[in-house]
Structure 1
Amino acid sequence: MNKGAYKQYNQVQIKTANRGKLIVMLYQGAIRFMKKAILNLEQKDMEGKGNALIRAQDIILELTYALDQESLDRGDELALNLQRLYLYSYRRLVHANVRMEIEPIQEVIGLMGELLEAWEQILQSEGGEATGTAPMSPGLVITG
């Protein structure tokens, strides 16, 4: 598949995905870019490493922005814990980028991987992929 067709397919997939599937896609993208950053770091491609980490950081910020502000304002424990985890992950990636370290990237891959697995289980158990109506945590809102 050529790059143009793949990009177009990806755009259609994003536009037609339900909220839960969008969250899963964000986690998958962040993990993919972090793995790419590790590979680039091992190959001494600092520009590639930096670009991949910035993309992963952008995705983590999107996950942070997707949290429901009202839930955060009410002190909803799930929303607050996710916010803390996302901000911690973001800081670890900044640290990895500046210090040229792989360990913080691997740590965040582990954290995002656990969240990805949880969301995939939620979608599967609730039939979110089949019905297009994934349940949303009260602390999460995806718009678009």
Structure 2
Amino acid sequence: MNKAYQTYKNNSVNTASGGELTLMLYNGCIKFIKQAMKDVEDNDYEAKNRNIQKAQNIIRELLITLDPKVEISKQFQPLYEFMLSELTAANIENSREKLENVLELVTEFRDTWKQVLLQHRKQKFSQRPSI
């Protein structure tokens, strides 16, 4: 069963569009931040550190894939850098509050991105000729 699930996950990543991959990154980041929050509550500092680092790696990936030619990228960059800084501080201070702040931002980014993808799909399918 586990092997089938892993195959499914690999196929979904390998066949996803760039927009869908970005959505997966946001969802993964949210998952790791939530887990780190639980780890703080459980005083599991090793797991907290690991999950925060995973969230930071995702934010770094999102940061390096920004296109500097696109105006909105210039607005996203300082927000991603702020998230990285907050995650570092949350890791050092074991701060659930800082994790919640980042979680709120990432969730907002994810929800907005999801709406962009939905609008794009609607436009794409509405422009198809009917048979």
TM-score, L = length of structure 1: 0.80
Report the structure number with the largest CA radius of gyration: 2
- 1:95 alignment partner AA: A
Q: Percent identity?
A: 35
Equivalence for 1:80: 74
Q: Please report the TM-score for the alignment, with normalisation by the length of structure 2.
A: 0.88
Q: 1:97, CA displacement in angstroms?
A: 0.2
RMSD: 1.6
Residue of structure 2 equivalent to 1:27: 26
Please state if 1:95 is matched with 2:89.
Answer: yes
- Partners of 1:48 and 1:7 lie apart in 2 by 22
Indicate the structure with greater helix content. 2
Higher relative contact order (CA 8 A, sep 6+): 1
Helix, strand or coil at the partner of 2:118: helix
- Misfit runs of 4+, over 4 Å: none
Q: Which residue does the alignment assign to 1:9?
A: 8
- Unaligned runs of 5+ residues in structure 2 are 126-131
Number of matched residues? 124
Aligned pairs for 1:1-144 (under 5 A) are 1-2=1-2, 4-69=3-68, 71=69, 76-127=70-121
Where does structure 1 lack aligned partners over 5 or more consecutive residues? 132-144
